[in-house]
Amino acid sequence: MRAAAGQELTYRLPGGATMSTVVPPQGFRPQTAAPATARAYGFDAPDNPKALAVWRAKYKGYRETIPSVPCLGTSPLSSPRFTAYSSNWGGYVATGHSNYNEVYDDQNIPTYSTSCGPNRTTLAGSWIGLGGYIHSTKLIQQGFASGSSGTATQGASLWFEYLNSAHQNPPVYIGHTTKTGHVISQYMTYSSGKVGFHWYDRTAGSGWSPVNVSGLSGYYDGKTADYITERPSGFKLRKFSRQTFSAAGARYGSTFKDLFKLSTTEVRMTTNGTSSGAALNTNTRSSSSKFYQTWKRCS
């Protein structure tokens, strides 16, 4: 059921967290709204005129807001720790600071290859996040999952997740799209235990109502900003079309930088999770804020 315009919806989540989202009125456009009005509906519009012009250009073509409605998964998609070689993760992490508080990028929804066989159980999650690298057991992340068990339906389910050593919470799904090839713009912000999650289909001009989750201070680690495609534990992989992470960057303190203008470490997905394993996908940088992943084989 759609909420009344401007109504805030609140939900209790596992691990003591609380989710809220406000559905804007019909006709709301973030690219033309006053900054204070946009922020009231969960959008991170700045007041600075120059920054505001850049921000509004990002939302050019925005036409519709889809209500975000939580649906809990049955088990965690991720482990709260990963390393430079993994059988599950591939991408980059930004390092060099201890106070990362925002991470953002654009990603295309991939399509499947049937070369691995028609009924191979498969799932891949492309996400951005904070924490989780090497020795950290804390991780907050958002992204979209492509695939399903049994028969893989083209499209993506949008989700976020928060994990630590004490609480292995399931993912929270907030929506679904069948628009393969579309570019999803997303960002995640952290401040004093509160996290904002946002997904926007730039190709369709449709965004999901921004989600705010409070009570997450015990899940935050600001030492890394993460840009990862993951094969959740227990799932096999088909090959996917090229996965592109573009407009990627992070904020530490009040400073914004493109991904590859920060110190980065490549995370390589291999068949056995070590340097001796065969690559499941490869990462190729193509600008200061963009890299793409090429799938090499089935698992």
142: CATH: 2.60.120.700
User: CA 17 → CA 56, 77, 162, 166, distances in Å?
Assistant: 31, 18, 10, 14
Q: What is the pLDDT of residue 2?
A: 47
C-alpha 153/C-alpha 163 separation (Å) is 27
Helix (H, G, I), strand (E, B) or coil at 168: strand
CB atoms within 10 A of CB 81: 17
User: CA 29 → CA 3, 46, 56, 63, distances in Å?
Assistant: 18, 15, 10, 7
Q: What is the pLDDT of residue 153?
A: 60
Q: What is the pLDDT of residues 60-106, one digit of tens each?
A: 999 999 999 999 988 887 776 677 888 888 999 999 999 999 999 99
Residue indicated by tokens 């470490």:
265
| Residues 227 and 92: beta-carbon distance below 8 Å | yes
Buried b (16+ CB within 10 A) or exposed e, 155-173: bbbbbbbbbbeeeebbbbb
Asked if residue 11 is part of any domain, the answer here is no
Asked if residue 14 is part of any domain, the answer here is no
- Pair of tokens at residue 100: 């990362």
Q: What one-character DSSP code corresponds to residue 81?
A: -
Those residues of the chain that have pLDDT short of 50 are 1-2, 149-152
β-pair type (64-66, 206-208): parallel
Q: What is the pLDDT of residue 237?
A: 64
Asked if residue 77 is part of any domain, the answer here is yes
Q: How many domains does the chain have?
A: 1
Task: Look up residue 190 and give its amino acid.
Answer: Y
Asked if residue 1 is part of any domain, the answer here is no
User: CA 296 → CA 42, 116, 242, 264, distances in Å?
Assistant: 39, 12, 10, 23
Q: What is the pLDDT of residue 257?
A: 97
Please tell me the chain's helix, strand, coil percentages from 3-state DSSP, rounded to the nearest 5: 10, 45, 45
Asked if residue 53 is part of any domain, the answer here is no
C-alpha 190/C-alpha 131 separation (Å) is 12
Asked if residue 21 is part of any domain, the answer here is no
C-alpha 100/C-alpha 222 separation (Å) is 5
- Pair of tokens at residue 128: 């951005």
Asked if residue 5 is part of any domain, the answer here is no
Residue indicated by tokens 């068949």:
271
Asked if residue 41 is part of any domain, the answer here is no
Q: What is the pLDDT of residue 114?
A: 62
Q: What is the pLDDT of residues 244-263, one digit of tens each?
A: 999 999 999 999 999 999 99
Full domain range(s) for residue 165 = 67-295
Give the residue from 89, 70, 278, 42 showing the smallest Cα distance to 161: 70
